[in-house]
């Protein structure tokens, strides 16, 4: 295993359009059309680049979210959006999430390689499978395929994408006959300065972790406890070794939800106020979506029933994210809260992705602790209100990391793959 105390921390920002909390849209610094305002997106890219961050992430939106609790129900297509931001930036990595369940491999290979080419080698693809039935119906499908089928399709999809990207460099046609795809052809898009986009993976199931070890260069993980993160870290690195790769070739980057303040009290007050500005049903609806169970049916003042906890970790369960369910399960087992207590607790500790409420100094302590413990290679930070939180990261968090020798003072590379590799040096 690589020594986690060598190299530098990798930092990205998961751009949840306006912020991860539903009340983010109420910021006085935003307007009703911020999410489609070119100036807003350029500002995000420019501030992230000023902080010398490794990358910004943006998810696709194959289904319309519930506007009663989802502040980010509307969003732009990430490849097109990042192509715009690429023109306003020079170094920051631009990572687009795109599903292997609802995309066509030839079309997606062409779009992503086009972004990589026009950005000068700064593109990345965050590989996901889609679990939302409403998204399937947007694509004319009656429902989402079973989980095992989704991951089998994802494995073939990724292999085919890589073959198509290779065809852009060699000029040789791809002739593929598989369970899910038949294809004869090659890409006409030229390769980028980094060859092809960096691959990241976001699934937490056993098949997702195996795919990450075999193919991914980064994992957008969901971790709530340090011990769980250490176990995940070691598991994916072992998969990489089994695939004949260096364990350092795949970077583990959990999401971390942030509410920051000049004091811990101020940060908690900010978190409380932002939660209370949102609809009361938000926490219940979000947790229901995350674990694939209707939490509104539970007694809020009782502990979680055993059958619900069993459903949370059942890989065959149709709804929710395996990675989120596993991390939530660990957190509930560790603290034994009532449902109401857990919903309150998630304001500060996160639900699915870990949460952090405190000062920039305390956040740097947390990042350093997990990094030196061999739990992570870095984090994807997710501010409560993006336009505010990103500036705090740039102006306060990053300088503190630099003082401790944990983060770069300036870019030494100009491709996303270069950023990842430089972090190991």
Residue 114's alpha-carbon distances to 49, 92, 195, 261, in angstroms, are 21, 17, 12, 40
What pLDDT, on a 0 to 100 scale, did the predictor assign at position 320? 56
CB atoms within 10 A of CB 299: 11
Residue 1: pLDDT over 50? no
Residue 23 binned pLDDT confidence (cut-offs 50, 70, 90): confident
Average pLDDT along the chain: 90
Q: Are 40 and 81 in contact, with CB atoms under 8 Å apart? A: no
What residues contact residue 100 under an 8 Å CB cut-off, 6+ apart?
Answer: 127, 128, 129, 150, 153, 154, 157, 158
SS3 state of residue 172: coil
- Token pair of 268 as six digits: 């908690």
Q: Which of 81-85, 129-133, 151-155, 242-246 has the lowest mean pLDDT?
A: 129-133
Which residue has better confidence, 280 or 363?
Answer: 363
The position carrying tokens 């791809």 is 174
- Token pair of 81 as six digits: 């959006």
DSSP states of 33-75 as a string? TGGG-HHHHHHHHHHHHHTT-SEEEE---SS---TTT-TTSS-
Q: Are 193 and 171 in contact, with CB atoms under 8 Å apart? A: no
Residue 5 binned pLDDT confidence (cut-offs 50, 70, 90): low
- Euclidean distance between CA atoms 86 and 84, whole angstroms: 5
Task: Report the run of H or E that residue 97 belongs to, with start and end.
Answer: strand 93-99
- Average pLDDT of span 39-55: 97
Share of the chain above pLDDT 90, in %: 66
Residue 303: pLDDT over 60? yes
Nearest CA-CA partner of 332 in 306, 293, 358: 306
Angle, helices 360-372 vs 226-242, to 10°: value is 40
Residue 328: pLDDT over 80? yes
Q: Are 375 and 223 in contact, with CB atoms under 8 Å apart? A: yes
- Average pLDDT of span 373-392: 97
Q: Give me the architecture of the 10-263+352-423 domain, per CATH.
A: Alpha-Beta Barrel (3.20)
- Euclidean distance between CA atoms 123 and 57, whole angstroms: 10
The model's pLDDT over 358-368, given as tens digits with 9 standing for 90+, comes to 999 999 999 99
- Average pLDDT of span 384-412: 97
Residue 117: pLDDT over 50? yes
- Euclidean distance between CA atoms 226 and 204, whole angstroms: 16
- Euclidean distance between CA atoms 98 and 103, whole angstroms: 8
Strand-pair category, 182-185 with 174-177: antiparallel
Binding residue positions: 60, 97, 151, 205
SS3 state of residue 355: strand
SS3 state of residue 11: strand
Beta bridge partners of 423: none
Residue 120: pLDDT over 90? yes
Measure the CA angle with vertex 389, ends 388 and 394; round to 5°.
105
- Euclidean distance between CA atoms 10 and 253, whole angstroms: 8
Q: Which of 69-83, 236-250, 295-309 has the lowest mean pLDDT?
A: 69-83
Measure the CA angle with vertex 101, ends 98 and 104; round to 5°.
75
Share of the chain above pLDDT 70, in %: 92
Binding residue positions for FMN: 60, 97, 151, 205
Residue 100: pLDDT over 90? yes
E strands, 107-262, in order: 123-128, 174-177, 182-185, 198-201, 218-219, 251-252, 255-260
- Euclidean distance between CA atoms 194 and 40, whole angstroms: 28
- Token pair of 129 as six digits: 């499978």
DSSP state of 416: H
The model's pLDDT over 148-184, given as tens digits with 9 standing for 90+, comes to 899 899 999 999 999 999 999 999 999 999 999 999 9
- Average pLDDT of span 250-255: 96
Q: Are 113 and 189 in contact, with CB atoms under 8 Å apart? A: yes
Residue 324 binned pLDDT confidence (cut-offs 50, 70, 90): confident
Q: Which of 1-10, 25-34, 227-236, 347-356 has the lowest mean pLDDT?
A: 1-10
Residue 82 binned pLDDT confidence (cut-offs 50, 70, 90): very high
- Tell me the chain's radius of gyration from C-alpha atoms: 20
Residue 105: pLDDT over 70? yes
The model's pLDDT over 186-198, given as tens digits with 9 standing for 90+, comes to 999 999 999 999 9
Residue 313 binned pLDDT confidence (cut-offs 50, 70, 90): low
Q: Which of 70-74, 179-183, 271-275 has the lowest mean pLDDT?
A: 70-74
Residue 319 binned pLDDT confidence (cut-offs 50, 70, 90): low
What pLDDT, on a 0 to 100 scale, did the predictor assign at position 392? 98
Angle, helices 339-349 vs 264-277, to 10°: value is 120
Residue 306 binned pLDDT confidence (cut-offs 50, 70, 90): confident
């Amino acid at each position: 295993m690589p020594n986690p105390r060598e190299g530098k921390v990798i930092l990205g920002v998961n751009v949840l359009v306006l912020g991860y909390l539903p009340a983010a849209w109420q910021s006085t610094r935003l307007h009703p059309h911020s999410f489609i305002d070119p100036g807003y997106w350029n500002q995000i890219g420019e501030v992230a680049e000023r902080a010398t961050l490794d990358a910004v992430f943006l998810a696709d939106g194959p289904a319309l979210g519930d506007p009663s609790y989802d502040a980010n129900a509307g969003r732009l297509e990430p490849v097109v959006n990042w192509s715009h931001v690429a023109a306003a930036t020079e170094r920051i990595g631009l990572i687009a999430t795109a599903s292997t369940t609802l995309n066509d491999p030839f079309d997606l290979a062409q779009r992503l390689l086009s972004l990589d080419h026009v950005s000068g080698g700064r593109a990345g693809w965050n590989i996901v499978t889609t679990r939302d039935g409403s998204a399937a119906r947007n694509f004319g499908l009656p429902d989402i395929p079973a989980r095992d089928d989704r991951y089998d399709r994802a494995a073939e999809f990724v292999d085919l994408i890589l073959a198509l990207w290779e065809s852009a460099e060699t000029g040789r046609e791809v002739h593929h006959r598989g369970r899910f795809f038949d294809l004869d052809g090659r890409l006409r898009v030229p390769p980028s300065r980094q060859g092809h986009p960096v691959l990241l993976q976001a699934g937490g199931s056993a098949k997702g972790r195996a795919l990450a070890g075999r193919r991914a260069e980064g994992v957008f993980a969901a971790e709530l406890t340090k011990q769980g993160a250490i176990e995940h870290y070691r598991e994916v690195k072992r998969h990489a070794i089994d695939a004949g790769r260096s364990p350092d070739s795949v970077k583990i980057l959990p999401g971390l939800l942030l509410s920051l303040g000049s004091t811990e009290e101020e940060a908690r007050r900010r978190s409380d106020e932002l939660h209370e500005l949102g609809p009361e049903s938000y926490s219940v609806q979000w947790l229901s979506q995350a674990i694939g169970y209707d939490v509104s049916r539970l007694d809020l003042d009782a502990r979680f029933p055993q059958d619900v906890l069993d459903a949370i970790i059942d890989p065959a369960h149709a709804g929710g994210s395996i990675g989120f369910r596993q991390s939530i399960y660990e957190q509930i087992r560790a603290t034994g809260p009532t449902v109401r207590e857990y919903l309150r607790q998630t304001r500060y500790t996160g639900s699915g992705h870990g949460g952090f409420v405190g000062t920039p100094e305390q956040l740097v302590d947390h990042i350093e602790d997990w990094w030196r413990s061999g739990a992570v290679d870095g984090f994807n930070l997710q501010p409560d209100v993006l336009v505010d939180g990103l500036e705090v990261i740039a102006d306060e968090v990053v300088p503190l990391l630099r003082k401790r020798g944990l983060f770069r003072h300036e870019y030494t590379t100009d491709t996303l793959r270069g950023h990842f590799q430089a972090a190991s040096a």
